[in-house]
Structure 1
Amino acid sequence: MSSWTDKTIQKAIRDAKAEGADIWLTDADKARGVGRLRLRASAKNRATFYFRYTTPKGVQAQISLGIYDSDGKAGLALKDATAKAALLSRLYQDGHRDLHTYLAQQKANEDESIAAKVRAQEEAERQATFGDLLLAYADMLKAADKASERAVRSQLKKDVEVAFPHLWKKPAKQITIDDCVEVVGKLNDEGKPRQADKIRSYIKSAYRAAINARGNVKAPKVMRELGITSNPARDIDKVKGSSEASERALSLAEFRAYWKRIQALEEPHRSVAMLHVLTGGQRMQQLARVTLADIDRDSMLMRMVDGKGKRERPRVYWVPLLPEALPCIDRLTLTGQYVFSSNGGVSPMGENFLSAIAKDVCSAMTEAKELQGEPFTGKVVRATIETRLMKKPYRVSSDVLARLLSHGLGGVQAKSYAHDPMHEEMLEALEKLWRLLNEEAEPLAEVIQLYARA
């Protein structure tokens, strides 16, 4: 405890003001070698506390403790200054004889600690978000030349970024199974089980890809740096009702009515729908990738790329072209390179362009009482082509249809069309399809119910 009192200090302040000169008070009630509490009362009507000590070089030095304030509100009360001086005295006696250097280092360490915390906080704020992960997954699909990339990216933005902006910005490592269920559940509750299961699959696949990327130097850098170690969507069940396959296939009369109606459509709908049929009902995502560079007019072949599934490299296969297909291609590529396009070839058709055409034609057929069964979609056209070609009188083998429609072929892959042993058989199948569509109409046939292969 200092030997001063507040009265002592206030008197010194009055005396300094009266004399017009500083007055120093030193706490003498201390042993030698422990430092001293000092106070300077200035002529400006205030006082400042100091701690005085002797440096290792024998020089007296002082550390400012703060301005005196009897209440301790605008500065240091006497008891507070005494406590500070006692702390410095203990440090001094413990061997920190150069207190200025020691305190400066302590301040630097404290500043660095604070800075480190700030950096950690900033780093946490910069953590890869759920949105970063999902977009990186879409970028990975694009780099792998997957036909599904555009559709995946579009749904991720619509059903996650737009629908759940708070989750989109949430760190990917903090996403929980409940967060994933919230996204999937919204679509299911809206009566969209197929879309719900797709988003479930995309989220699950994105996390799985990021986990696998950590140990794969060939994986995209952005995926490796996400640092993902667990998959919150791993245990979400497949959405019930999401994969109920359509068993609808058009009757011969319905199919011919469809073919007749699409030939009467306005461009580009007419040529897109006709070319879809003339090439065997290929998958819409794969058709959207076809450009003029994929058309071999000399050999009458169209190059297709099948990137579905888990294969690292898309499978390349070739579809024979009937002569009637070339005018459609020419009409669709007046100003650009994309064959299946709604704007002259400048960009590929949208994911639902063909489906929308089929829906409109189906509505017209319904009004004209040309339908014998339920309304149909673009996928039913594909299923119908396969179904009709398998039936009498054409009897196209399942092997040929599998090659033509790029069903699961496993390791049986043609390296190029020149080495494809089924090229002639596929061409023959398409010629049968042409005859089926353009021969004299037969009596209405019974509606065929068959599993529609995707």
Structure 2
Amino acid sequence: MNDSTRRERLTLPRITAFTCPAGQHQAFLWDSDVPRLAVRATAGSKAFFFQSKMDGQVVRITIGSVVAWTIAAARAEACRLQTMIDQGADPRAEKRERIAAAARKIAEEEAQAAALVAEAEAAQREQEKRQRYTLRALCEAYCALLDSRGKPSARQARSILKVHVFDAHPDIAALPARELTALQVASMVRKTREAGHERTAGVLRAYLSAAFTAGRKAPFDASLPAALIPFEVEANPVEAIPAIAVRAGNRTLSVDEMRTYLAKLGDDIADRALLLALLAGGQRMAQLLRAKVSDYNPDEETLRLWDAKGRRAIPREHVLPLAPRAAALVAGLAERAKARESTLLFSTHGLRQMAETTPGKRAAAISAAMGGEPFDLRDVRRTVETMLASMGLSRDTRAQLLSHGISGVQAAHYDRHAYTDEKRAALVAWEARLDEIETGRRTPNVVAMKAQRTS
């Protein structure tokens, strides 16, 4: 720009009428009031423009669009820029800093917005995690683990946890498992115990402890399912709760009570289960109810059960060489199952196994009908072993017959004797003893038993 440049006082009509001539890429309309201010027009826009000199160099700065800026504001800005030059400050540096500051502010605002979004997403994920990985979900995952390992206790675990946790304490069951406290566990165990279910309270504590232990070990133990890891269990709150010792039962049925008990067993499927458990030497009902038609060998008259009790990774095969009455009963159950196209010896509707609680409820009903001191299936099992002992059956053979107390290195790795002859002799003698009890007739030499091991 030079002093001979034609100037006009900038007005809105003049700015509106001003255009860039054809063939030029830009044109200037200089203001007469503020000599350093102009309107620069290009083919597509118009903007207020400042031009001056500083230290012999031309300084050019675009102030802003004529749409966004008023003429008065543009003149004031041009005067400010010239004042800066007069004071030795470069307005271009100031503009660059202003643009950089604006960019920083935008970046900060975007970062803050992104942080807020991330925080909201994290809060949402945390809320979803709290709602998903609850005590109830941990217990269900533990029961699924028992299922995957073929543990028959899975059914009992589900039942006890449902009744005494999910239904009785839905508010605690809905809490994140990792936040559960010992006091909350204690309140659930205490309520179960105070309701008169002391044994169940002990079992409940054991299942809860096992579930938390599995959750705590899952990140480090490859044998545990990865589904337990997201629960983020770092401690077992059940450890602070004292274990409830199982009181050793001492209830046994007298001979008269056993006679009445036998007399009340009918032909119903639950009654048949109770009778077979008795004839087979006091077998555990849970194992007996899992028996399949294929587990019965009619040629050898043996019934194969699977003992998964305790910490066995693989269920122990438990073969019973049945005495005549028990063999006939199992043969009848096998025919019944085949007629129903079922693979199970004990099924209510053909396809599903009879609930483990059904025979127990039936035994309780018989006990109530008999009057006197109540008894349950554990008491019947105890009675059988007591009577077998009184018949002279050795402790080792009783253990093999009832499949309990079989542990240790010798039993696990070296003792491969099947005890078939001993068990068969014991069950034959036991059926004879039961016949004595039912009929009152004495069978000679029925108690003269002494187990002999054969190699």
- Both structures adopt the same fold (TM-score exceeding 0.5): yes
Identity of aligned residues (%): 28
CA contact (8 A) 1:135 1:153 kept: yes
**Equivalent residue runs for 1:115-194 within 5 Å:** 115-127=117-129, 128-194=133-199
CA contact (8 A) 2:134 2:177 kept: yes
CA distance in 2, matches of 1:442, 1:60: 123
CA contact (8 A) 1:272 1:341 kept: no
CA contact (8 A) 2:298 2:331 kept: no
Secondary structure at the counterpart of residue 249 of structure 1: coil
Q: Which residue of the partner structure matches residue 421 of structure 1?
A: 418
Name the CA shift for 1:266/1:296 in 2 (closer, same or farther; >3 Å).
Answer: closer
- What displacement does 1:430 show? 0.9
Q: Which residue of the partner structure matches residue 7 of structure 2?
A: none
Secondary structure at the counterpart of residue 304 of structure 2: strand
> Which structure has the larger Rg?
2
Which ranges in structure 1 are unaligned for 5 or more consecutive residues? 1-15, 17-57, 64-91, 367-372, 444-454
Deviations 1:83-121 (A, max 9, x none): xxxxxxxxx889573456444433332232122212221
- What displacement does 1:437 show? 0.9
Aligned residues: 351
**Residue 405 in 1 paired to residue 405 in 2?**
no
**Residue 376 in 1 paired to residue 379 in 2?**
no
CA contact (8 A) 1:271 1:331 kept: no
Tell me whether 202-211 or 274-283 shows the greater mean CA deviation.
Answer: 274-283
CA distance in 2, matches of 1:157, 1:423: 41
- What displacement does 1:161 show? 1.1
CA contact (8 A) 1:207 1:231 kept: yes
Which ranges in structure 2 are unaligned for 5 or more consecutive residues? 1-11, 13-59, 66-93, 443-455
Deviations 1:397-426 (A, max 9, x none): 1111101111121145589x9x64301111
**Equivalent residue runs for 1:222-261 within 5 Å:** 222-239=227-244, 243-261=246-264
**Greater RCO (CA < 8 Å, at least 6 residues apart):** 1
CA contact (8 A) 1:332 1:341 kept: no
Tell me whether 315-324 or 93-102 shows the greater mean CA deviation.
Answer: 93-102
Secondary structure at the counterpart of residue 361 of structure 1: helix
Normalising by structure 2, we get a TM-score of 0.69
Deviations 1:379-403 (A, max 9, x none): 1111111111111xx3111111101
Name the CA shift for 1:191/1:101 in 2 (closer, same or farther; >3 Å).
Answer: same
Match of 1:330 among 316, 329, 334: 334
Deviations 1:298-342 (A, max 9, x none): 332222222222233332222223322324423652422222333
Name the CA shift for 1:406/1:200 in 2 (closer, same or farther; >3 Å).
Answer: same
Name the CA shift for 1:61/1:130 in 2 (closer, same or farther; >3 Å).
Answer: farther
CA contact (8 A) 1:271 1:332 kept: no
Match of 1:354 among 355, 359, 362: 359
- What displacement does 1:59 show? 7.1
CA contact (8 A) 1:271 1:328 kept: no
Deviations 1:56-85 (A, max 9, x none): xx875889xxxxxxxxxxxxxxxxxxxxxx
**Residue 221 in 1 paired to residue 226 in 2?**
yes
CA distance in 2, matches of 1:197, 1:61: 83
CA distance in 2, matches of 1:328, 1:414: 35
Q: Which residue of the partner structure matches residue 19 of structure 1?
A: none
Q: Which residue of the partner structure matches residue 299 of structure 1?
A: 300
